Structure formats: C-alpha cells, structure tokens
Amino acid sequence: MAGVEPVPGVAKPDPILVVDGVRRSFGGLTAVDVDHLEVQRGTITALIGPNGAGKSTLFNLLTGFDRVDAGEWHFDGTRLNGLGGHRVARRGMVRTFQLTKALTRLTVMENMLLAAPRQTGERMLGAFARPVWRAQEAANRERAEHLLERFKLLAKKDEMAGSLSGGQRKLLEMARALMVEPSMIMLDEPMAGVNPALVQSLLEHITALRDEGRTVLFVEHDMDVIMGISDWIVVLAEGKVIAEGRPSDIRADQRVIDAYLGAGHDDSEQEPPTDSGGSHE
Ligand SMILES: Nc1ncnc2c1ncn2[C@@H]1O[C@H](COP(=O)(O)OP(=O)(O)OP(=O)(O)O)[C@@H](O)[C@H]1O
C-alpha cells in the first residue's frame, strides 16, 4: 500500500473488490451511500464507524444477503449484482455469520459439512452419481478435519456447537467460512463476546489468513484490535466513507475523531466506545 493516498475512494494498486455508487435506504433513512471504495488484495482491511454507520448493511449488500437500491460492485473483475449469498461464496467471497440457534443444535462437524460447497451429485442422486457424491463427501470431511485441527476444535467435533465458548464459536465461524476456500473472507465483529484470553489467538488466525494470501475485510469495534492488525482502515459514518488510510493516518484524522466522539468533545477525554472494556487508541 506504499504510496496510496489516505483519501476516501482512493484507487488501490490491485483491488480485489471495487464498489461503485452502492446505496441502500430503509424508509427515509439512507443506511449506505458509498460512492467508490476499493479493497486491496491480500490485505487486512478494517471497516469501522459509529453504531448505525451502515457497516453491517454494507456487508449484507456486498455478499448478496440484501439488495442495493443503486450501484454495482465487482469482485475479482466479476460483477456481483443480483447474485445470492451462495453464488457470491462460490466465486470466492465469503462472510462469517454469528451461529444461529439452529446451528448451535448441530455438532461442530455437522456445521462444517453444511458449509461445504454444494455437492455436484446432490441433484441427481441416481445410482450412477452416488460414488462421485461419496467421494466428495469424504473430501469435505477430510477438509473439515484439517480446518478443525487448525482452529483447535478437532476434539470438539462431535459436540453441539451450542456448547462452545464465545471465542470457540468465533473460531468455528472462521473454520466454516474456509470450507469454500475463499480468496476473500469478511468477518463480522470477530472479537465480540470473546474472552480476553482468546483474543490473541484469534488475532493470529486472522493474520494467518492474510499471510496465506487471502484478503480479509472485517467489522470491529475494539480499537486495539483494529489498530493492531489492520493494513488499511475504512471509516463509515452515516453510510458514507468519510476517511480511509493506514492506522497511523486514521488515528490522526479529525473527521474520524469527530464522527466517533461528536462535536464539542474534549480531546483529553475518552476514546471510541468498544465491547472489550480494555484500553484504546
Ligand atoms: N432491515 C432494516 N430495516 C430498517 N432499518 C435498518 C435495517 N437494517 C439496518 N437499518 C438501519 O440502517 C442503519 C445502518 O445500520 P447498520 O446495522 O448497517 O449499522 P452498523 O454500522 O452495522 O451498526 P452497529 O455498529 O451498531 O452494528 C441504522 O440506522 C439501522 O437502524
């Protein structure tokens, strides 16, 4: 990212995701209004902003879980408008979801297998297709075991996902997402509800995703986490990108300080609110 100017909408040398004019309103409220945004391939990019800034809505739009009112976006050169979540994931962009109630009643391994790519034999379960299908299932199971081992969940594979701790659930969410071998992974508040003892391990997993060549885009409130692992930070406020840059740029950006803390804020005071209760930038 050397030489990239820290200004909203700036072009990146090798963007994997390019967003243009993406807008979404709910009634009279404009939740997302992004003129132009590029995410550089192979980086950890944080998407931050105050509550209600539009971060989750933007995630939902880009990954096919909500519909834009206007605009378009390209992933690795392919226009993604109108594609549902499964199709977006098959193209290599996948997001994590908090484990829903239904998923907590399945075992850890069942969760992994449900996240596997659709089986090609699934729709034609004739005797002829069955061996192919079985081979795919075996391959999925093997991949799931490798991932569970990597995320230190293999010993839990037959336990209900609902019995996992907050941090282990976050690890399972990441492991599930990797079942489709994504080139880009989008993490929704990966540190929320995580015991401080597990935070370091989660950070290492996120860094490892980048180091193996994947692009990571994550929404997070914890400023220590954001400043510590991000290569680039994008700041949303009232649906718009109001700033982007390296952690050092963002820390010093008056618009960011204003967006988080409001007018009339005394500089000697607090930092942005977080979930962690720790000290912040
Ligand atoms: N389905 C919906 N129907 C109506 N309003 C919505 C809907 N989803 C989001 N909004 C509104 O859109 C705005 C953006 O919400 P969004 O959840 O995207 O913000 P956020 O930045 O993710 O916030 P937080 O950090 O609190 O999760 C908010 O004002 C929210 O109330």
Work out the angle between the directed axes of helices 130-150 and 166-178 (0-180°, nearest 10): 140
pLDDT at 276 over 80: no
50 lines ligand 1 (CB under 6 A): no
**pTM: predicted TM-score of the whole model, two decimal places:** 0.87
| Interval 2-14 mean pLDDT | 93
What pLDDT is attached to residue 230? 97
From the CA of 49, give the closest atom in ligand 1.
21
CA 31 to centroid of ligand 1, rounded, Å: 6
**In the block, which residue shows the tokens 């297709």?**
129
Of residues 230 and 267, the one with the higher pLDDT is 230
Most confident of 71-75, 162-166, 187-191: 71-75
Atom 31 of ligand 1: nearest residue by CA position? 52
217 lines ligand 1 (CB under 6 A): no
- Domains of the chain, by residue range, sit at 1-92+182-274, 100-181
pLDDT digits 0-9 by tens, 221-259: 888 889 999 999 999 999 999 999 999 999 888 888 887
C-alpha 212, offset from chain centre:
16
199 lines ligand 1 (CB under 6 A): no
pLDDT digits 0-9 by tens, 80-115: 998 988 889 989 999 987 767 668 889 999 999 998
**Helix residue spans in the chain (DSSP H):** 55-62, 85-90, 101-104, 108-114, 130-150, 166-178, 196-211, 223-229, 247-251, 254-261
Q: Which two tokens stand for residue 74?
A: 């390209």
CA 199 to centroid of ligand 1, rounded, Å: 26
C-alpha 186, offset from chain centre:
2
pLDDT band of 196, cuts 50, 70, 90: confident
Q: Is 121 helix (H, G, I), strand (E, B) or coil?
A: coil
What pLDDT is attached to residue 118? 66
pLDDT digits 0-9 by tens, 15-71: 999 999 999 999 999 999 999 999 999 999 999 999 999 999 999 999 999 999 999
The percent of residues in the chain predicted with pLDDT above 70, rounded, is 86
- Which DSSP string do the residues of 153-210 spell out, in sequence order? -GGGTTSBGGGS-HHHHHHHHHHHHHTT--SEEEEESTTTT--HHHHHHHHHHHHHHH
24 lines ligand 1 (CB under 6 A): no
Query: In the predicted model, what is the mean pLDDT of the chain?
Result: 87
259 lines ligand 1 (CB under 6 A): no
57 lines ligand 1 (CB under 6 A): yes
Helix (H) or strand (E) holding 95: strand 93-95
| Length of the chain measured in residues | 281
What pLDDT is attached to residue 183? 97
CA 194 to centroid of ligand 1, rounded, Å: 23
What pLDDT is attached to residue 53? 94
pLDDT at 269 over 80: no
From the CA of 58, give the closest atom in ligand 1.
18
| Interval 103-130 mean pLDDT | 76
31 lines ligand 1 (CB under 6 A): yes
Atom 29 of ligand 1: nearest residue by CA position? 52
pLDDT at 185 over 80: yes
pLDDT band of 128, cuts 50, 70, 90: low
* CATH number among 3.40.50.300, 2.40.440.10, 3.40.630.10, 2.130.10.10, domain 1-92+182-274: 3.40.50.300
